[in-house]
Structure 1
Amino acid sequence: MDCDTAKSKLFPYVDGELATELRDQVEAHLARCGACRRLVDFEVAFRETYVDRLRPDPAPERVREQVATLLPDLVHGQRAGRTQRWLKRLALGVGAALLVAIGLSAGVALQSHLGTRTTLAELTDAAVEQHQKLVRDLLPPDIKDVSPKAAEEWFRKRLAFNVSLPDLKTEGLRLLGGRISHLREVEVAALEYQVDGNNVSLFIIPEEAYRQLRLKDKPRFKVVSHRGYDVVIWRSQGAGYTLVSEIGDRACLVCHAPHEKLEPLPRPSAHL
């Protein structure tokens, strides 16, 4: 079984819906493929954290009482007359439609979130992998030893989306260089910084690619812990940003001066 096939079976595998033979094939693939295993672990962690919150509330008591009252009448024919039968059917239809609407809305919301998880997990994994390559000089910079504004102009001439870098004069912060790179086949601006001697990578992605993640507006900063790295994802000024480091909140000096009042970062929403 290859990765594409395994990923197509991810949700039914987590739901326990696969036949024994197919489940064994998926588990054999997961045993030798760390990337797919991490996707499964992330999906399980996400469901444990969020799925219960998305379960629909029961239908209002009044609606359930009306449906319960109408059903016996329809079964036993206790009410006569075409008009009354029509009204009962209409009431039953409205009640049933309401129940279906509640279920569908919750189902759509749940499926939307479950569909988002794999995309977010893959983006996070790709960002961490790129960060490691930048730190180890496996991805040489296209530009180095330039100011943030000079780097901004360089990227804007080569990328078809807004690249905005604050020109911060912060002690302990240094822009090492940048390059055009890719996260999951999405062309991005990749920048490498040092904050108090610690390597921090910032990836700027097109807003369209960020919107495809279908993340909620709040909290503004989405934090994921992956392979021992803190990954922060947010949107600003017509682009998406992904920050990778091992120093938590301190990495935010890349985009904000120390005196700025920042929205507190939440705890990691999931671990990969």
Structure 2
Amino acid sequence: MNCEEAGRLLDAYLDRELAGDQRLEIERHLSHCDACRSRAHETEAFRSFFRASAPRYRAPDRLRTRILTAVRSQRATPGAGRAFRRTIWLYAAAMLVVSLCLYLCLSLTVFLPDRDKPLCHAAVLDHSRSLAADHLVDVASGDRQVVKSWLGARLPFYPPVVDFPIAGYSLIGGRVVVIERRPVAVVVYRRDEEVASLFCWPVSGGTVMDRGRQIDGYRVDTWSNVECNYILISRLTEREHDALLDLLRDRLPSEIY
């Protein structure tokens, strides 16, 4: 069994739906394949998290009242049993649809595996290396037009560059890096002694998820707009990081690319 075959059978294996031979075959594969075993552990962790964390929704009191009223009406009216059963099935179907919609929404926003994880790890590695080497920028300037022009001359796109000195986040420059075989602009900000890197590239190759995470002690947020993908990385406090994130998300869509 190869990794592709194991991937197709993984969900059925975790649900204990595989027959004996298939189950033994995938277990044999998982025992010597680190990548598939890691994927299986991650999938099972998400399932456990969902079972433990998914909210339970109580039926509205109004629905309960209507069902009880229908029950009393059925008892009081001869020959109404068929209509009552039809009503109960309709309510049950409606509640099932609502539950499925809630489940899908939660799955899409919280419980899906983090497909951008390798990209974020690569960005965190670049950010940490720039700090360790004390080489934060290739162009050092607090002038947004200077930084934007310098980056645009070395990239196949002009990245948006914004500045928030009044809010305490100062633009210090930018650099060009390659992340996952794509050219990326990095706009660098400073707040007191802490540095934040904003990675930016066009969405032509696909968009990133709107998601926050912690990687190696760094706060990492990804999001997209109609033009670009973004990764914001810092070791600012949660409040300071979120404030910068809000400023960027508010200002970047209005920038001219």
* Aligned-partner Cα distance in 2 for 1:46–1:191: 37
- Say whether residues 1:229 and 2:229 are aligned partners: no
* Aligned-partner Cα distance in 1 for 2:132–2:55: 45
Could you tell me the percent identity over the aligned residues? 19
- Per the alignment, residue 100 of structure 1 pairs with 96
Q: Which has the higher helix share?
A: 2
RMSD: 5.2
- Per the alignment, residue 44 of structure 1 pairs with 45
* Aligned-partner Cα distance in 2 for 1:123–1:17: 33
* Aligned-partner Cα distance in 1 for 2:224–2:2: 34
Equivalent position amino acid for 2:148 in 1: E
Match runs of 1:136-147 below 5 Å: 143-146=138-141, 147=143
- Say whether residues 1:164 and 2:161 are aligned partners: yes
* Aligned-partner Cα distance in 1 for 2:40–2:220: 16
- Per the alignment, residue 263 of structure 1 pairs with none
CA contact (8 A) 1:39 1:118 kept: no
* Aligned-partner Cα distance in 1 for 2:240–2:171: 12
Post-superposition shift, 1:91?
A: 1.0
Structure 2: tracts of 5 or more residues without a match: 248-257
What is the SS of the residue equivalent to 2:175? strand
Q: What's the TM-score once normalised by structure 1's chain length?
A: 0.56
- Going from structure 1 to structure 2, the CA distance change for 1:5 and 1:200 (only over 3 Å counts) comes to farther
Post-superposition shift, 1:101?
A: 0.9
Deviations 1:67-101 (A, max 9, x none): x959x99xxxx964xxx466335313312321321
* Aligned-partner Cα distance in 2 for 1:253–1:56: 29
- Say whether residues 1:22 and 2:17 are aligned partners: no
CA contact (8 A) 2:190 2:196 kept: yes
Equivalent position amino acid for 1:29 in 2: C
Deviations 1:137-182 (A, max 9, x none): 6x997x4234443122344564557512316499996735411533
- Per the alignment, residue 54 of structure 1 pairs with 54
What is the SS of the residue equivalent to 2:115? helix
- Going from structure 1 to structure 2, the CA distance change for 1:117 and 1:205 (only over 3 Å counts) comes to farther
CA contact (8 A) 2:2 2:29 kept: no
CA contact (8 A) 2:169 2:244 kept: no
- Per the alignment, residue 218 of structure 1 pairs with none
What is the SS of the residue equivalent to 2:161? coil
- Per the alignment, residue 253 of structure 2 pairs with none
Equivalent position amino acid for 1:54 in 2: A
- Going from structure 1 to structure 2, the CA distance change for 1:113 and 1:20 (only over 3 Å counts) comes to farther
* Aligned-partner Cα distance in 2 for 1:180–1:38: 29
Equivalent position amino acid for 1:182 in 2: I
Equivalent position amino acid for 1:62 in 2: R
CA contact (8 A) 1:176 1:192 kept: yes
- Say whether residues 1:127 and 2:127 are aligned partners: no
What is the SS of the residue equivalent to 1:118? coil
| 1:175 counterpart (172, 181, 187) | 172
